[in-house]
Structure 1
Amino acid sequence: MEEMLTEAARRMGVTGAQVAVLADGELCEAATGVANAELGLPMDPRTLIQIGSTTKLHTAVLAMTLVDDGLLDLDEPVVRHLPELRLSDGAATASVTARHLLSMSSGIDNGHYDDPADYLATLAGMEMLFAPGDGYSYSNASTVVSGALVARLTGASWDEALRRRVFEPLGLRECLTLWEELPYHRVAVGHAPDGSVVRPWTFSRASGPAGSTLCSTAADLARFGELFVRAGAGVLSAEACAAMQVPQVSLPTRRFADSWCLGPYQRDFGGTTVLGHSGTNLGGSSTLLWVPSTGVVVAVVCNSPHAGYPLAVAVAAEVLGARPADVEPVTRLTADAGPYEGRYAACDLRYEVTAVDGVLTVTLEDVASGALSPPVALLPLDEHRFLPEQDLSGGRGWDLAFVVRDGRAVRLVSGGFAARRVV
């Protein structure tokens, strides 16, 4: 497995990586490359790497322990426990539930990548993307609200609750969220495509529950994922573990995931149902996958965020013998572009969709800087779904889709992230 990982990492320009596979109770792990190019620190299986948004699975498991304990009802309004929560729409504030938060169907925008003193207070200034339960959009902000809910109901910080309720029962000693614990471990840093070290190391403490602080090894990430194929492994009841793996909402796109459950995504790998989560931040990238039908668990982590997802797909394809497949575009022409043309907005991006001579294009505007991208052609895949001719997803190869109601798009979804129509 080490030879396979080394070759894949070399081919994709990955500085350092780890893989761990659990099958029939046996753990196989490997590491390759370096943890810090400036220091020449080798990557080994015990080196901690930031796992990014795969942390959302940990937060979801933590929330489900509260369901098991009778402290949380998935379908009651969250505001009953967090009365300070204020969304931009009063009806949404009154109706959003933990089920919405965990299944990415809350309608809360992704949120800003900063570190405010009061994260929840920032939500009132963001327009809702849709009413809770009326669609799908990946949202860091939703998961931060889940973390606040955990803290309120346990009387402990999210960090402490995660350690006591998940890490310790599973015996995970190479998972940590507190930066003051880092000096006691080998720690990797992020690397850019040119191999240089990325600074700063991370961007936010407030976004910890969504993926800005948790570090792990591939081995501990795989051991965490094993709870999903071992009926909760004593951390969750078998019922809660099963409930987490039931699809709640379908995605209009397909190259990110097919559907979202209560924490994990679900994808089709060549006819095999695979669940999991992926994540990327400044210091690293990770993917955790498991196959319910076989019980195999695969964890891949690396310190080259730009290449983390392609590396994980390549490794998973070798281990599982299959990979996600999709139709490919056969034309640049869109028969009827009218339903899609318009402007769409999210908290950090604006999209302008236009058509010229039958070719649909999208231009992106960064809200903070005002910078505009060149127009990118959208190549038709199937109904309301397109593949950008130049990648818009940081090397992930995601597609873009429109949600159409009554013959007119009401929002677009780029990979996992939605934007509402404004014009």
Structure 2
Amino acid sequence: MNETAGWLRRRLPELIAEHGVVGAQVAVLHDGEIFDATAGVLNNVTGEKVTADAIFQIGSITKVWTATLVQELVNEGLLDLDRPVRDVVEEFRLADEQAASVITPRQLLCHTAGFEGDLYYDTGNGDDMLAKYLERMAGTQQTTPPGELYVYCNSGYVVLGRIVEVLRGKPFNTVLRERLIDRLGLHAATRHAEYAGRRCASGHLREDTALKPVEEQTTEGDSPAGSVLAMCARDLLAFVRMHLDTTEFDAMRETQVELPDFGFGGRQGLGWLLHNYENGVTGVGHAGQTPGFQAYLRVLPESGLAVATLTNGGASLPVARAVHEKVLGELTNVTLRKPPKPPAVPVPIDVDKVAGVYRAVRAAVHVTASEHGRVRMRAVPVDVNAAPAVIEEYVGFRDNALIAVEEQDGSHGVVVLCGRDEQGRVKWLHWGRVAVRQ
């Protein structure tokens, strides 16, 4: 372990410099002990250095915390994951009344409820912010029938947060603090107001050719999905250690849904994502992203090993992957699966069956033929004030999937082609979210 810790502390500053990352914290849990490393700055204007106690937003890793609060309710006999959400939260409404009446907490936990998930409503920061969020959800459309397809759904976790509130009789953030943060003696922040007085990282996004600090705060109404929770990497691993030291949450690591194959395998548990490694080892984890922040968590329960990497801007994925390859490989002899690459000889694409216009929550995706057997995807934002349309070229990856020609932030995006209509045309483009053929 000492050699690994030495490598990490020596190599992390080099890695973030190589990949243009503003700042990073990495913590490793091994044999019950945590060691860490830091590099870079919290804010590239002030130049304040990253320290081990500084807090970073962890984004969607928060979903594992929300799922843990839900699992506690299950363990206490207060919640049945397979009964309708309406049994607990009577005000749960969607545009499709039939769907809203049958959707279950398990489907919310597993991202199979099928309704639009990227709903960033600003409902304030009061104790009623989740209740107000659910009111705003009443017109939310289904993209797939409940239980049919895995589609990543942030708003589903807001509904789970509301379930926690109703059954505990307290605001979600109060329950989160009392049952997890204070219980574990952590210094996490669950609201923007709690950032005050902390050494706090700023997220950074690229403007023109430079990374600049993000000034606009995230909304708090979707905090159970991951908009606000912030902590240091050591505290994140203290939470993981709680999971590994008890059988209370083992059910969360059981496979619930097989994910579409985006090129790296994987399954969905209750909150946790399950990772497959080259040598047959299974682990769990999650990633998170808020504006300017990227967070990565990998856990190997059988080995008692976990790695948390928190960053605040830049091409962070290659940094996290280098850390994972070294730490997991050296301490447990685990080999990461290689990220997908465009094949040397692309699989032929039946363009007529793929071409068309697809509707996503925030964009219309126009798919057309391109040169050399490629497909061009043009994502046109629904909001006229949003960023310009994004155009990418794809080639055939498998007979049911395309892969981006160009690499972005260390990876080639994979789009899975799901479902067929009566003419044999693709119904859904799936990259974690979905776009539905119009």
Question: What TM-score results when the alignment is normalised by the length of structure 2?
Answer: 0.88
The residue number in structure 1 matching 2:276 is 268
Per the alignment, residue 105 of structure 2 pairs with 98
Residue 125 of structure 1 corresponds to which residue in structure 2? 139
Q: Is the Cα contact below 8 Å between 1:136 and 1:418 reproduced in 2?
A: no
Is residue 2:194 matched to residue 1:170?
Answer: no
Output the amino acid matched with 2:192.
Answer: W
In the TM superposition, residue 163 of structure 1 has moved relative to its aligned partner by: 1.0
Aligned to 1:402: 417
Report the counterpart of residue 362 of structure 1 in structure 2. Answer: 377
Which residue is equivalent to 2:287?
Answer: 278
Matched positions, count: 410
Contact 1:50 1:283 survives alignment (8 Å): no
In 2, the alpha carbon distance for the partners of 1:227 and 1:339 equals 49
User: Counterpart of 2:194?
Assistant: 181
Aligned residues of 2:347 and 2:398 also touching (Cα < 8 A): no
- Compared CA separation, residues 270 and 254, structure 1 to 2 (3 A): same
The 10-residue stretch of structure 1 (254-263 or 36-45) with the greater mean CA deviation from structure 2: 254-263
2:323 corresponds to which residue?
315
1-side partners of 2:70 and 2:20: how far apart?
37
> Which residue, 248, 258, 263 being the options, matches 2:256?
248
In 2: Cα distance, 1:199 partner to 1:395 partner: 26
- Structure 2 unaligned residues grouped into runs of 5+: 1-7, 125-131, 330-334
Offset of 1:255 from its aligned partner? 4.7
Residue 303 of structure 1 corresponds to 312
Do the aligned partners of 1:50 and 1:216 also contact (CA within 8 Å) in 2?
yes
Question: In 2, distance between residues paired with 1:382 and 1:42?
Answer: 45
Structure 1 residue corresponding to 2:82, chosen from 68, 75, 92: 75
Partner Cα separation in structure 2 for residue 256 and residue 58 of structure 1: 24
Deviation at 1:167, TM superposition (A): 1.6
- SS of aligned partner of 1:293: helix
- 8 Å CA contact retained: 2:264, 2:340: no
CA distance in 2, matches of 1:377, 1:165: 47
Report what 1:220 is aligned to. 235
What is the CA distance between 1:390 and its match in structure 2?
3.5
**In structure 2, distance between residues paired with 1:67 and 1:375:** 45
1:101-137 alpha-carbon deviations (Å, 9 max, x no partner):
0111111212233413621123232321111110011
Q: Which runs of 5+ in 1 are unaligned?
A: none
Please tell me the root mean square deviation across aligned C-alpha atoms, in Å. Answer: 2.1
Contact kept in structure 2, 1:278 and 1:309, CA below 8 Å: no
1:343 touches 1:353 (CA, 8 Å); kept in 2? yes
Aligned to 2:28: 21
Paired AA for residue 267 in structure 2: S
- 2:434 maps to a residue whose letter is A
Aligned partner of 1:89 in structure 2 is 96
Compared CA separation, residues 371 and 215, structure 1 to 2 (3 A):
closer
Is it true that 1:292 corresponds to 2:301 in the alignment? yes
Cα offset for 1:403?
0.9
SS of equivalent residue, structure 2 residue 338: coil
Aligned amino acid, residue 402 of structure 1: L
Identity %: 33
Aligned to 2:402: 386
Q: 1:57·1:264 contact (CA, 8 Å) conserved in 2?
A: yes
TM-score by length of 1: 0.91
Match of 2:63 in 1: 56
**1:394 CA drift (Å):** 6.5
Residue 301 of structure 1 aligns to which amino acid in structure 2? L
What is the Cα deviation at residue 265 of structure 1?
Answer: 0.9
Q: Deviations over 1:371-417 (max 9, x none)?
A: 663642211112311112235x7665431111124644221112x11
Distance 2:211 2:37 in 1: 21
Check whether the contact 2:405–2:412 (CA below 8 A) recurs between aligned residues.
no
Q: 1:51/1:259 Cα in 2 relative to 1: closer, same or farther (>3 Å)?
A: same
For 1:360 and 1:120, the matched residues in 2 are separated by: 38
**Would the alpha carbon gap of residues 309 and 88 (structure 1) be closer, same or farther in structure 2, given more than 3 Å must change?**
farther
Q: 1 CA distance for matches of 2:160 and 2:36?
A: 32
Mapping of residues 185-204 of structure 1, within 5 Å: 185-193=198-206, 194-200=210-216, 202-204=217-219
Residue type at the aligned position of 1:23: H
- Would the aligned equivalents of 2:357 and 2:365 in 1 still touch at CA under 8 Å? yes
CA deviation string 1:256-310 (max 9, x = no partner):
7622111011222323322111011125221111012312111010111x42333
Match of 1:30, SS state, is: strand
Structure 2 CA distance for aligned equivalents of residues 348 and 33 of structure 1: 34
Shift of 1:174: 2.1
Task: From 2, 12, 15, give the equivalent of 1:5.
Answer: 12
Give the CA deviation at 1:353.
1.8
Counterpart in the other structure of 2:4 = none
Amino acid at match of 2:288: G
Further displaced range: 1-10 or 11-20: 1-10
Rounded to whole Å, the distance in 2 between the matches of 1:207 and 1:374 is 26
